[in-house]
Structure 1
Amino acid sequence: MYTVLVIDDSASMRRIIKDMINDIEEFEVISMAVDAYDAREKIKQYEPDLVTIDINMPKMDGVTFLRNLMRLHPMPAVVVSGEGVRGNDIFDDGAVGFIPKPENGESMQSFQHRIKDTLLNLTFLLKRYTLKKPRALIVKKTNNKEIEYKIHPDEVMSSKPIRGNGSKLIAIGSSTGGVEALCKVFMKLPSSLPPILITQHIPYGFSNSFAHRLNDNSEVNVHEAKDGMLLEKGHAYLAPGNMHLSIEKSGLGYKTKLLDTKKVSQHKPSVDILFRSVNNVIGSSAMAVIMTGMGDDGMIAMKDMYDNNVYTLAQNEESCVVFGMPAKAIKAGAIKDIIHLDDIAEYIIDYSKGKRK
């Protein structure tokens, strides 16, 4: 079953689209939104597998919202609009489908057929996107009230920090706004750095293409992490969109270890799991960077790292798209330096040369 968020400013059209999608056995409308800002909050709340977007909406038009969505939180999106002229453009903006709304007396039955055909033709993409994709929260209903249970990193990985043995490694965690922020950082990084591990909250199916994008715009060799990859200087390893990224000792070096477990701190991959693993295996000789993002993922393990004398760094509020994750880590007393996005690359280079500890 694939979950859908319907975004349309017309109440009647929202109901029509909802009913038509719910008639398709493989799909269920999990919620509806009246504009882009409402949609943004409901995407965070429900993490749908697919969104439908109208073009003509108040506050922010659908095309602008689509572009922002693909930049900040890429996911499958289908445009459902009466503006057929935009049909050829929206694919360049990131949409995976376009369904014109009925016009000139077209029957609702014909409209329903087009919705069904389009969505069923996208199941191949949605299977990739939702493969092993758990929900953001474990939700139980009691007396019609929703109770949210947040998984602590202890339930997946115990905290066993070690003293640093001199091995250098850079661990980076980010979420909302992190795609563009990471691109800006990596454009400035040389190929001479210690291994870099990245956990960016990104849907399954998009992490590989994002790794290629980073690789094409950096001297660092960037890979989507696979299980058992040896960590090398001048290389970076991005957590896949449906697995936790961790590391383990391998002979005289280290290798990646992917974990297919519960979501931790509401995410999979989780920054907390990456940071905890690095603290357990590399210890105080590592560097940890927390960047723009919503929520508090990374805060718990970053505090452990700080207490273990790991060099910890946070992006400042001014340069964050969402000052959530860095703010939580700062409030927890887990950060040594707070700096602008434009300076993060310089600090990473300094760390690699032993200038920052």
Structure 2
Amino acid sequence: MYTVLVIDDSPSMRRIIKDMIDSIDEFEVVTTAYDAYDAREKIKEYEPDLVTIDINMPKMNGVVFLRNLMRLHPMPAVVISGESVRGNDIFDDGAVGFIPKPESGEPMPVFAERIKDTLLNLTFLLKRYTLKKPQAKNKPKNTTKNLKIEYKIHPDEVIPLKKALMPGMKLIAIGSSTGGVESLLKVFRKLPSNLPPILITQHIPYGFSNSFAHRLNDNSDVIVAEAKDGMILEKGHAYLAPGNMHLTIEKSGNEYKTKLLDTSKVSQHKPSVDVLFRSVNNSVGSAAMAVMMTGMGDDGTIAMKELHDNGAYTIAQNEESCVVFGMPMKAIKAGAVKDIVHLDDIAQYIIEFSSGKRR
């Protein structure tokens, strides 16, 4: 059963959409919200698997709310709106579905069928997105026997540390999490096309990574794509880890290729920054640059320290410019970072590393 939050400023439309979604066996509306601010609090309280968003809402319109949601709390979102002209744009903003509201005179069963078809087509994404979440406040608190403590898998269990015997090709590896979507966009807007290959692991749900890769590509001179297995690393290109696979690289003759791993989460994430950084250390060693950006937790710290100790150039985003100063802080405390850099300057540091001015 997938839980849904319905956001719409119209009480009657909230009730109609709720009833239609509740009639689908696999879905249940756990609550509704009348505007973006009400929705923000209810997302924290109920941790729904999916939200539906209206565009025309008071205080903050649905497009702005959607962009903020994708920046701060990425999750599956479907826009249900009468503004069909927005249908294509909202996918660029991170939505995974668009359902037009009924036109004048259109039978409600037709609208209900649109909702049902869209949500059922998204179950493949929701299966991958749905994680063990903190117990919602409206649920009984006597079910602790059903809760699991997630074992934190070390990168050794997925990708053993080997270290490159000789430095390989120059490349840049970037890790980020909460706040990383908008932060990466800011960095990539400033990057030229003549850089070494760039590898990115951003903690992002399955189904969002491909559209995010397109956003990066549209906002940069670098050619950005969601990584697929066996892609040859090329200068001027960037490769984003899919939302449900670890991104690694391996040497093949004189070339380096992407290799996707469908294994357990590492450091509680899949894709994991630790897996990417460990792979880069194994393959190219001291020829690499590793960048740790905004994010919660400590994913990437283990392998970034290995890269640092192996002679790679490592930088971390500073506290002032982070949405969450978790991952960079852990890496800094571990002694894994050479330079601490403001978000606005990260692109310049990448350019200078690429030209040999920083190492």
Superposition pairs of residues 84-103 of structure 1, within 5 angstroms: 92-93=89-90, 96-97=97-98
Inter-partner Cα distance in structure 1 for 2:213 and 2:87: 24
For the 8 Å contact 2:308–2:314, the answer to whether it is kept is yes
Give the CA deviation at 1:170: 0.7
User: Could you list the per-position Cα deviations for residues 251-307 of structure 1 after superposition, in whole angstroms to 9, with x for gaps in the alignment?
Assistant: 122110001122223322221211111112222221110112233322232223223
Considering only aligned residues, what root-mean-square deviation do their CA atoms show, in Å? 3.8
Of 321, 324, 335, the residue aligned with 2:323 is 321
Structure 1 range deviating more: 280-289 or 5-14: 5-14
User: For residues 283 and 147 of structure 1, do their structure 2 counterparts lie closer, same or farther at Cα, with a shift above 3 Å needed?
Assistant: same
Q: Aligned residue for 2:44? A: 41
Inter-partner Cα distance in structure 2 for 1:287 and 1:204: 27
Superposition pairs of residues 273-288 of structure 1, within 5 angstroms: 273-288=275-290
Q: Aligned residue for 2:116? A: 120
Inter-partner Cα distance in structure 2 for 1:299 and 1:89: 41
For the 8 Å contact 1:201–1:269, the answer to whether it is kept is yes
Inter-partner Cα distance in structure 1 for 2:132 and 2:333: 24
Q: SS of 1:211's equivalent?
A: helix
Q: Aligned residue for 1:107? A: none
User: For residues 330 and 257 of structure 1, do their structure 2 counterparts lie closer, same or farther at Cα, with a shift above 3 Å needed?
Assistant: same
User: For residues 347 and 12 of structure 1, do their structure 2 counterparts lie closer, same or farther at Cα, with a shift above 3 Å needed?
Assistant: same
For structure 2, which runs of at least 5 residues remain unmatched after alignment? 136-140
Of 157, 170, 173, the residue aligned with 2:172 is 170
For the 8 Å contact 1:7–1:39, the answer to whether it is kept is no
Q: SS of 1:149's equivalent?
A: coil
Q: Aligned residue for 2:222? A: 220
Q: Aligned residue for 1:133? A: 128
Inter-partner Cα distance in structure 1 for 2:211 and 2:2: 22
Q: Aligned residue for 1:69? A: 69
Kindly, what percent of the aligned residue pairs are identical?
66
Q: SS of 2:122's equivalent?
A: helix
Q: Aligned residue for 2:138? A: none
For the 8 Å contact 1:136–1:267, the answer to whether it is kept is no
Amino acid in structure 2 at the alignment position of 1:236: A
Q: Aligned residue for 1:144? A: 143
User: Could you list the per-position Cα deviations for residues 314-338 of structure 1 after superposition, in whole angstroms to 9, with x for gaps in the alignment?
Assistant: 1112222232322232233322111
Q: SS of 2:149's equivalent?
A: strand
Count of residue correspondences: 345
Q: SS of 1:161's equivalent?
A: coil
For the 8 Å contact 1:164–1:285, the answer to whether it is kept is no
User: For residues 315 and 136 of structure 1, do their structure 2 counterparts lie closer, same or farther at Cα, with a shift above 3 Å needed?
Assistant: farther
For structure 1, which runs of at least 5 residues remain unmatched after alignment? 102-109
User: Could you list the per-position Cα deviations for residues 90-115 of structure 1 after superposition, in whole angstroms to 9, with x for gaps in the alignment?
Assistant: 874455345769xxxxxxxx97x577
User: For residues 215 and 151 of structure 1, do their structure 2 counterparts lie closer, same or farther at Cα, with a shift above 3 Å needed?
Assistant: same
For the 8 Å contact 2:247–2:261, the answer to whether it is kept is yes
Q: Aligned residue for 1:105? A: none
Q: SS of 2:358's equivalent?
A: coil
Of 272, 289, 292, the residue aligned with 1:290 is 292
Give the CA deviation at 1:198: 0.7
Inter-partner Cα distance in structure 1 for 2:332 and 2:14: 41
Q: SS of 2:276's equivalent?
A: helix
Q: TM-score, normalised by structure 2?
A: 0.78
For the 8 Å contact 1:138–1:148, the answer to whether it is kept is no
Amino acid in structure 1 at the alignment position of 2:229: D
Inter-partner Cα distance in structure 1 for 2:278 and 2:33: 37
Give the CA deviation at 1:5: 3.7
Structure 1 range deviating more: 150-159 or 69-78: 69-78
Q: SS of 2:201's equivalent?
A: strand
